[in-house]
C-alpha cells in the first residue's frame, strides 16, 4: 500500500510517500522549516509525486498528525488530509504526532516492536507549545505511550523527569536549558513514523476514527457577553 503521510503540528511542514509493503519505508520526503504550513504543504505533495513518478491516484490511504500542536498549523494539515482523502476516496487516519516522533527516536517501525534501539530508560517527546510551554508525552523504550500528551511549562515538567524514569529526551532543542537535560533529534515527526503508528489499522483495513485535533488548550476567542454602544 502507498501511504501519503502529512504533519503540520510543529514548525516543520512534513510530507512523505511511504510504502507499507513489509515495514513502513519512506520513498520520498519533504520537510520544510518555516511555519508557512499553508503555503508549503501542497507544493510538497506535488513534489513527492514528481520525484517518485507516482500519482495521487495510487495512494491507498492518508495518515496525518493531529498534534498536539498550535491551532493554525494543525488545521492546515488536518483539513488538507481530509480534502485529499475525500477526493481520492481513501481512508484518512489521524495519529498523535508525538507517537510518530517516539517511533523515529526509538529506531523501530511500529509501537511495541522487539529489540528497540533507544537508550536506557523511558523516552520523553517535547515540542513547542508557545506561551513558554511545551507539549509532551512519555513512552517506554518500545515507543508505547505511557503518559500524555499534555501541555505545561518545562520547569514543572522537569520536576517529574525522575518519576517518569526518563532516559532520553527528543524534540525541540530550544527547551534543553529550561528542562535541564540534553534534547536530541528528531525534532519533528517523520513520514515513516506517522505511517508506522497507523500501520496496524491500515493493514487490518480498520475504519479510521474521526479526525480530532489535539489542541490541549481552550480557544483564546470568547463569545461577547453583550453589545457595545456605538453612539454617545
Topology at the third CATH level for domain 99-179 = Nucleotidyltransferase; domain 5 (3.30.420)
Residues of the chain with CATH 3.30.420.200: 99-179
- Per-residue pLDDT averaged across 102-114, rounded? 89
Q: Provide the whole-model pTM.
A: 0.91
β-partners of residue 145 are: 139
pLDDT at residue number 226? 59
pLDDT at 231: 63
Of residues 214 and 38, the one with the higher pLDDT is 214
| Nearest-angstrom CA–CA distance, 102 and 198 | 13
pLDDT, residue 132, reads 94
Cell of 103: 517511533
Which grid coordinates belong to 112?
Answer: 511495541
190-77-82-113 Cα dihedral, nearest 10 degrees: 20
In this predicted structure, the answer to whether residue 38 has a pLDDT above a threshold of 90 is: no
Rounded CA-CA distance 190/107 in Å is: 11
In sign, the C-alpha dihedral spanning 41, 75, 88, 190 is: positive
pLDDT of residue 123 exceeding 50: yes
pLDDT, mean of residues 159-188: 95
pLDDT of res. 221? 44
Q: What stretch(es) of the chain map to CATH 3.30.420.40? A: 2-97+188-204
202 has a pLDDT exceeding 60: yes
Nearest CA-CA partner of 4 in 59, 43, 44, 54: 59
> Mean of the per-residue pLDDT values for the chain?
92
Extended beta strands in the chain, E state: 2-7, 12-19, 25-33, 61-65, 91-95, 122-130, 133-139, 145-152, 166-171
CATH class of 2-97+188-204: alpha beta
Model confidence at 117: pLDDT above 70: no
The predicted-structure confidence for 204-230, as pLDDT tens digits, reads as follows 999 999 999 999 986 554 455 656 566
DSSP tag of 11 = S
What was the pLDDT predicted at 113? 79
The predicted pLDDT at position 112 comes to 84
Mean pLDDT confidence for 192-197:
97
pLDDT digits (tens, 9 = 90+) for 49-87: 999 999 999 999 999 999 999 998 999 999 999 999 999
Amino acid at each position: 500500500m502507498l501511504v501519503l503521510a502529512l504533519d503540520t503540528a510543529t514548525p516543520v511542514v512534513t510530507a512523505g510517500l511511504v510504502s507499507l509493503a513489509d515495514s513502513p519505508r519512506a520513498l520520498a520526503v519533504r520537510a520544510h522549516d518555516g511555519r508557512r504550513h499553508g503555503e508549503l504543504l501542497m507544493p510538497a505533495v506535488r513534489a513527492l509525486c514528481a520525484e517518485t513518478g507516482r500519482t495521487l491516484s495510487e495512494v491507498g490511504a492518508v495518515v496525518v498528525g493531529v498534534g498536539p500542536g498550535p491551532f493554525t498549523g494543525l488545521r492546515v494539515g488536518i483539513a488538507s488530509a481530509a480534502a485529499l482523502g475525500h477526493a481520492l476516496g481513501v481512508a484518512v487516519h489521524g495519529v498523535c504526532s508525538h507517537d510518530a516522533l517516539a517511533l523515529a527516536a526509538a529506531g523501530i517501525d511500529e509501537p511495541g516492536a522487539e529489540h528497540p534501539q533507544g537508550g536506557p530508560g523511558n523516552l520523553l517527546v517535547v515540542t513547542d507549545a508557545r506561551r513558554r510551554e511545551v507539549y509532551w508525552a512519555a513512552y517506554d523504550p518500545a515507543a508505547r505511550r505511557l503518559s500524555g500528551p499534555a501541555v505545561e511549562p518545562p520547569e514543572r515538567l522537569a520536576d517529574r523527569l525522575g518519576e517518569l524514569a526518563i532516559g532520553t529526551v527528543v524534540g525541540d532543542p530550544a527547551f534543553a536549558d529550561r528542562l535541564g537535560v540534553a534534547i536530541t533529534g528528531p525534532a519533528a515527526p517523520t513520514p515513516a513514523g506517522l505511517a508506522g503508528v497507523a500501520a496496524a489499522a491500515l493493514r487490518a483495513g480498520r475504519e479510521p476514527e474521526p479526525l480530532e485535533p489535539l489542541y490541549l488548550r481552550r480557544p483564546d476567542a470568547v463569545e461577547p457577553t453583550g453589545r457595545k454602544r456605538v453612539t454617545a
